[in-house]
Structure 1
Amino acid sequence: MIPAGAVELALPFEGRWKAQNSPASRVPSHGTELFGTSHAIDFVPVGADGRSAPRTLASLIGTERPETFGGFGRPILSPVTGEVLATHDGEPDHVARRSPLSLLGYALTQSSRIRAGAPAIAGNHVVLRVPEGVVLLAHLRRGSIQVRGGQRILQGAKLGECGNSGNSTEPHLHVQVSDSLLGNARGVPLVFARPTGGPWIPRNGEIVDV
């Protein structure tokens, strides 16, 4: 079901991606309404086997370099035609965590990242202005952002590359619409233009192939 007043976006990538933390499956999609994330969605780049990276000993008991993930560095495209409101770059792409032990340790440090503010949560990111507020594309690769604040861009223009910066356990893209960039920002429902036509919201685990 398409929410009333939802902002329609173009898919901000090409290739094969898996939807996670989708508002089609629950709201708030990320378990909180903080930072305007109530209707946010994550997309994880995957291969033909539906995995983000091969399973190795490190993926079972330790951490992994983000460069070992096939989607690390994939182009991220603008989902709208409009103005770049703000950008942030320079945050490191930290190690990826898929093992239960490494994920537990990461969860225990979540509160410290929230206290550190937007850069620690969103990592490297681009914010675009839309009539309903702003579109945030987060967790980009350090040094990959190709646009600047105040710049007018077209839908489909390259913004940067998929990374693992900020509050991220493996390379992926976080997309959200909110009414502002303020600390008390409210999330705005979003939908995407389906490649075969019509608006839709991918559900958790759904593979999107563009």
Structure 2
Amino acid sequence: MIVDLEYPFAGRWLVRNSPANRVPSHGTALFASSFAIDFVPVDVAGRTAPVNTRSLFTPEPPGRFPGFGRPILSPVAGTVVGMHDGAPDHEAYRGLPSVGYALTQRGRATEGWVALAGNHVMIETPDGVVAAVCHLQQSSVRVQLGHTVRVGEPLGRCGNSGNSTEPHVHVQALDRADVPNATAVPIAFRGRLPRNGEIIDAEQTPEEEEPR
């Protein structure tokens, strides 16, 4: 079974870690992430951040990145069965700093799902599939457990919480909300699978609000 999702955003985004190139997409099947996809927001020139040679040697505040704070929308209709909103947005890491950050990933995996996902929303569809949208901005989540959401309804904003080197949104589907015991479900978007390195120009859905 493949679950078809709507893009959880509008505007230009870059596809990263696509399972069109590798499964498991993130190099591991842990936490039901075999088919997960990362989408990184970019500017009109397709850059994820302004050119800055200092980024090769020092971490950067997430606010320097063009997508930090962009609205993130629900990719499915269903019921909110999981959420977290209190994780801080840490600095972003490119160049040499990303090497040191990578060495800390094992510790976050040991801590569990929330340490990896950061601020997130999990939505169960009527078919029982759970869509997870992760790395949201701290204090931006707009839904609560038990809420019913529509496709395109605002969930929060793009952040840099959890296991994230730069502001982006991580999307995956699972067969249950119990992540450590869940099985990954293959995903498509509007009937197709985005490929690694592809730029997505997603149209705004009617339910989306404009950035504040």
In the alignment, which of 86, 106, 124 is matched to residue 129 of structure 1? 124
Whether the aligned pair in 2 keeps the contact of 1:7 and 1:132 (CA below 8 Å) is no
In the alignment, which of 39, 45, 54 is matched to residue 50 of structure 2? 54
Please give the alpha-carbon distance, in whole angstroms, between the structure 2 residues aligned to 1:25 and 1:200: 14
Please give the alpha-carbon distance, in whole angstroms, between the structure 1 residues aligned to 2:88 and 2:24: 28
Matched, 1:178 2:178: no
Displacement over 4 Å in runs of 4+? none
Please give the alpha-carbon distance, in whole angstroms, between the structure 2 residues aligned to 1:41 and 1:185: 17
Please give the alpha-carbon distance, in whole angstroms, between the structure 2 residues aligned to 1:151 and 1:49: 37
In the alignment, which of 185, 189, 192 is matched to residue 189 of structure 2? 192
Structure 1 residue 57: Cα displacement = 2.8
Alignment-derived partner of residue 208 in structure 1: 200
> Deviations for 1:133-177, whole angstroms, at most 9, x for unmatched residues?
211000000000000110111111000000000000000000000
Summarize the alignment of residues 1-210 of structure 1 with structure 2, pairs less than 5 Å apart: 5-99=1-95, 101-130=96-125, 131-182=127-178, 183-193=180-190, 199-210=191-202
Gaps of 5+ in 1: 194-198
Please give the alpha-carbon distance, in whole angstroms, between the structure 2 residues aligned to 1:88 and 1:102: 27
The residue identity in structure 2 corresponding to 1:103 is S
The residue identity in structure 1 corresponding to 2:142 is Q
Whether the aligned pair in 2 keeps the contact of 1:34 and 1:184 (CA below 8 Å) is no
Please give the alpha-carbon distance, in whole angstroms, between the structure 1 residues aligned to 2:152 and 2:89: 24
Gaps of 5+ in 2: 203-212
For the residue of structure 2 that corresponds to 1:83, the secondary structure is: strand
Please give the alpha-carbon distance, in whole angstroms, between the structure 2 residues aligned to 1:146 and 1:58: 35
Structure 1 residue 132: Cα displacement = 4.1
Whether the aligned pair in 2 keeps the contact of 1:34 and 1:185 (CA below 8 Å) is no
Q: Cα RMSD between the aligned structures?
A: 0.9
Q: Could you state the TM-score of these two structures normalised by the residue count of structure 1?
A: 0.93
The residue identity in structure 2 corresponding to 1:129 is E
Whether the aligned pair in 2 keeps the contact of 1:179 and 1:186 (CA below 8 Å) is yes
% identical equivalent positions: 54
